[in-house]
Every structure is written in C-alpha cells, then in structure tokens.
Structure 1
Amino acid sequence: MTTNIPPATTLAPSGVPRPGGPGTLGRHTVSRIGFGAMRLAGLPDDRAAALAVLRRAWELGVDHVDTAHFYGDRYVNGLIRDAFTPEDGVVIVSKVGADPDPGARIPLRPAQRPEQLRASVEDNLTSLGLDRIPVVNLRRLDTGPGLRASGDQVVDLDDQLAAMIALRDEGKIGAIGLSAVTLDGLRQALPAGIVCVQNAYSLVARDDEDLVKLCVAEGIAWIPFFPLGGTFPAMPKVTDNPVVIATAQALGCTPAQLGLAWLLHHAPNIMLIPGTSQTAHLEANLEVAAIPLPAEVLSTLDAIPSLSSEIPLG
C-alpha cells in the first residue's frame, strides 16, 4: 500500500513538515523558515507569553532559531534556554561582534577584537546553557544598517576569523557564519568554511545580489535580516510598494507575506528568520511557504526596482 508520508528530512523534530521545506545550514538540515528571536526582548514583563511563542514555533515545525546574547541584555538567550531541551532538536544560531550597552541610544557597543569575540562566545554559552553553539555569526561593522567600528574596533577580518576558527577547533562553536559582510569580505573568508551569511536584504533592497549568487555557488545559506525593510525611517519598505500591494491583493495574502514568499522563491539557499512576539503573527509568517508564485508573478516582482538599504547610524 502506498502512503503519503514525506521523506524524513521534510519533517521537523516535532513531527510536522518543516515550514518552507528543508534547508541546509552547515551540517544541519533545518526548516527554511526559522525564527528570529530579537523581538522577544520586547516582552520583559511577560516571560510566559515569550516562552509560548517559542514553543508554538517548535510545534509548527520551526527548528532553527536565531538569537544573540545582546538581545534584551541576555534575556532572550535565557528564554531560549528555558523553552527548548536538547531532545527538541532546535539548531541555535547566535552572533558576536557587539555587546549589550543598556541605556545607550543604540543599546549596543562594538566588540570586534578577537578577545572580545571569544568573551562573547563564552557569554552566549552561559546564557544559552550550551556546551557548544551550533552556528555563530561574526557581525562585522563595516557595512549594513547599525553600528560602525572605529578606533581599536577596526579589526582585520583575518584576525577575527582566526579567533572564530580557534573556537570552532575547541568545540565551543560548531560552524562560522558572517553578518553585514561585503562581497570582498566573503571571498576573503571562504577558506574558513563559512556556512551562512546574514545581511540586510529584501525584495525592494537588493544591493547584495552578487553576494546571494556567490552564496548559491558556494552552498552557503543566505539569511536576510530586515527581510521586509522599513526598520529605519530611510529604509525602503516592502509593504509600501504599490506593485507588492496589488499583487498581494490578487493572491489573497498580505504584502508582508508576499515579501517573505518572494524570498523563498528567489534562490534555493535563502532561509528566513522573521521575528515576532505574537503567536498569531508567527503563524501568518509560517503560512508564506504555501503561497504559490507563478512565473508571471515572479517576473512582476523581480522587475520592482531595488532601492538602497544602506542606512548609516554610526
């Protein structure tokens, strides 16, 4: 008798299909739609609600969670530590390159020096309650929205990679990713065995298209942050684009869902980490995997002009 049970790799550890299907993140097979945990820092007084969002994500097949010890000054890492057990099979991805700076206009301060990267990994290990972090992204500060490095925080990429490789060799991290990296920077880093890249990228801000193509060629996961843009006032916003609005209406989805769905269709190595602090919004984000985008729709969306996403905040 023929059954309709999908291959094991399409199922998440929770036993349901992986949202967006399976993707490759280093040595791990994970859901192409993961969860970005940063917004949970906005629930400091409702820990139960924050934990419920994480557990609901796992129930719906998400097995790839992105975090950082500076999200909520370690609060978010503590949520992840308490929400999941090793048996849940969740691949945790964290990042280094900045430290918490509570009370500052931007509540972060650069932490780019090799000894600071090591200290940040140790901090992540403690706050996550892990012996090894599966993937750690090195957040560079020479491109993309956010902080800029100056003074002794301007560090050569090779020196940073040497520290990350040493941490990998020691078993404290499983794999190395890069964030806010340039095309030349990624080429320089390829010998280190980079497994993912996180840059600001969306349907309406595709400055890094050559980086996406290089990642496809090298088998590196492309994980855009700000996938809908609009996080800062001058940053183009996917949901404001009239073509996106009209197309979403025709397809019966929201403009935000369409923007995420386009990313999944744009390249096979693209993985998403949309974040939210609400379970209803979480469920809406995961529904984008089921939105069909025929060739003519993709052509229409691909023709939308790309606007610059470079927003200096330094």
Structure 2
Amino acid sequence: MGTVIPIGGEPAAGRLGFGTGGLVGPGYWGPRHDGPGPSVALLRRAVDRGVTLIDTADNYGPDIAEELVARALHPYPAGLVIATKGGVVRTGPDLWHVAGRPEDLRAMCEASLRRLRTDTLDLYQLHRLDPRVPMADQLGALRELQEAGKIRHIGLDSVTADELARAQDITPIASVQNRYNLLDRAAEDVLALCEQRGTAFLPWSPLGDGALAGEAGTVVAAVAARHGATPGQIALAWLLHRSPVLLPTPGTSSPAHLDENLAAAGLALTEGDMARLDALDRPHEPHEA
C-alpha cells in the first residue's frame, strides 16, 4: 500500500483508506437492499488487502455503518485506524442538520464508542462546524473527551483554511476531510496549510462523483491507456502523487471496484503525466456532472 502517513503522529495509516458511505442505503439512509453480509465481507477484504484506515460516520444509516464496521472487524487488528465523525444528525435520505452543542457532541461520541465496541476512538472528526456554537466550545468538548481517553485524535470536516488555522490555535488537529479531487481543487489553500503543519488530508469525493467526462475525461483516459489503468485509478494515483499528506478513502460496495481502487497505489505517474493532469484544474468554472 506504499508509504504510510502519520495521523497526529500516531497511529499511522496507509495511503489509501476505505470509506463506508456506500455500505448503507441511498442518501445515506437505511440498510442496503442486499443485507449486511456483503458489506461485512467487503470490510474484511479491504483490511486483508492492506487497508489501514476505515472512515465512517455516526449518521451513515444512521448508526448502520459503524455497526457494520464493528461486526466485520472487531476486535480490531493492531495498526488499523478507525475514524468516525459526529456533529451531524440525519433525519432522512440526504436530509441532515448540524448539531454542535457540547452536550450533543458528548452524547454522539459515547454512542459511537458503543456501536464500534471500543473504549477509544482513534480519530474523531467534527463532521461540520456548527455556526450557532462558538468553535472553542465545540473543540473544547472534543478536547475534554480526548483528555478522558475517549478520543485519540481530533479531526475536522469541510472547513476553510482560516477555520483550520483558528482551530489549530485551540487544539491540535490531526486531520481534515474536505472535498478535493482532480477536477475540484477549491480546497487547495486548505491542503497547503495541511502540508505546512503535517496534518493529514482525507479528500472526500476523491473520484469526483463520476465527473471524469468530456475533455477532461479524454485526457485522463489517455494517461490511463499509457499505464493500462482505468480513469478512476489515475484520479486516485494523481491524489497520491499530488501531496504526501493526502489520504483518499474511496468507498464502494463492489469487491472488484475495491481491488481496482487499491491497485491505484501501485501506479507510478511520470512528470509528464502529472503536468497533463494538473492542467485540468478549472477551479473557477462549473464542473461537468
């Protein structure tokens, strides 16, 4: 799986993780139609194939994804990082609201501990900052949980560079999860700050939600053909070459697609490949759907 990167210094994680959003029903709501068996098998396959970070969240399902992780992988093998998220309450398919009051975050963390069957969460990420609650109060609640031994490392999801800098003045931040991929680099300034401070960056939507089409898709397909790879593999390989702090966590419900994603870690893009792919950046233009 290639070079490992530290998350808050320890534990370390391989360069490709596995995201669990695809293991629940549409809109992150309810169970999948095929039952828990295939998802449990897929999680075990991911770890058997060398994945060392599982990225989940309490609102995937809700609750279902965390329960699947525990069912498949507990007791957790040494070196496996379980990352989860709290601070968002899901009320229906693609329906959710932010809930960042300290009492909410404490209750969510305790519930995740129970579902994941662990005494300490390796990485607990604030799924969204709550604009109605002072940042210091939200991070203070997580820091108290950390001091109590219930969280090892604290992370943030979907933040600006300014928010990340302010958060790091309050408490150490081990990771950031922002949308970032070959065709969407709006979080470039966040990535730069992560590089400066040694913060892991877990890009969500690393494959661009199927956006590799049109002119961009033609370029990616050409690079893929040179390597005997798929466009999706090239998109993941670009992330791995783009920055040493990037740790993509692509999700899937397909064993074949899992294997395809993990094989991207073995691709060696050339300087010419990177130059062609870098030139696809169009941060101020609409992206193709």
TM-score, normalised on structure 1?
A: 0.83
Q: Which moved more, 1:299-308 or 1:267-276?
A: 299-308
Match for residue 262 of structure 1 among 234, 238, 247: 238
Which of 1, 6, 12 is residue 29 of structure 1 equivalent to? 12
Q: Against the structure 1 CA distance between its residues 87 and 217, is the aligned structure 2 distance closer, same or farther, given a 3 Å change threshold?
A: same
Task: Pick which of 163-172 and 238-247 moved more.
Answer: 238-247
Is the CA contact 1:206–1:308 (under 8 Å) kept in the aligned structure 2? Answer: no
Query: Who is 2:87 aligned against?
Result: 97
Deviations 1:119-156, CA, capped at 9 Å, x for gaps: 11111111111111111011225xxxxxxx6xxx6222
Corresponding residue for residue 270 of structure 2 = 294
RMSD of the TM alignment (CA)?
1.9
Identity %: 38
CA distance in 2, matches of 1:260, 1:21: 15
* CA displacement at 1:111 relative to structure 2: 1.3
Q: Does the aligned pair in 2 maintain the 1:239–1:245 contact within 8 Å? A: no
Q: 2:226 maps to what in 1?
A: 250
Structure 2 counterpart of 1:63: 52
The residue that corresponds to 2:65 in the other structure is: 76
Aligned residue runs from structure 1 range 191-202, under 5 A: 191=169, 192-202=171-181
1:301 & 1:286 partners in 2: Cα distance? 20
Choose from 195, 201, 205 the match for 1:222: 201
Q: Which runs of 5+ in 1 are unaligned?
A: 1-18, 142-148, 232-236
1:47 to 2, 23, 36: 36
Q: Does the Cα contact within 8 Å between 1:239 and 1:255 map onto a contact in 2?
A: no
Give the deviation of 1:22 after TM superposition: 1.4
* CA separation of 1:309 and 1:196: change in aligned 2, threshold 3 A: farther
2:19 and 2:231 map into 1 onto residues whose CA distance is 19
Is the partner of 1:230 in helix, strand or coil?
A: helix
String of CA shifts for 1:156-179, please: whole Å, max 9, x gaps. 212211111111011111110010
Q: Distance in 2 between matches of 1:220 and 1:310?
A: 29
2:146 paired residue among 168, 176, 182 = 168
> 2:163 corresponds to which residue?
185
Matched pairs, number: 276
Structure 2, unpaired ranges of 5+: 26-31
Aligned partners of 1:60 and 1:33: how far apart in 2? 11
User: Mean Cα displacement is larger for which, 248-257 or 130-139?
Assistant: 248-257
- Partner of 1:268: helix, strand, or coil? coil
Would the aligned equivalents of 2:98 and 2:128 in 1 still touch at CA under 8 Å?
no
Distance 2:286 2:154 in 1: 24
Secondary structure of 1:136's partner? Answer: strand
After superposition, the Cα gap between the structure-2 partners of 1:239 and 1:193, relative to the gap in structure 1 and judged at 3 Å, is farther
1:86 — aligned with what?
75
Give the 3 Å change call, closer, same or farther, for CA 72–157 of structure 1 in structure 2. same
Q: How many angstroms apart in 1 are the aligned matches of 2:108 and 2:282?
A: 35
Q: Is the 8 A contact 1:215 1:222 kept in 2?
A: yes
1:126 to 114, 119, 124: 114
SS in 2 for 1:193: coil
Distance 1:307 1:119, change over 3 A: same
* Counterpart Cα distance in 2 of 1:133 and 1:310: 38
Could you say what secondary structure the match of 1:137 adopts?
Answer: strand
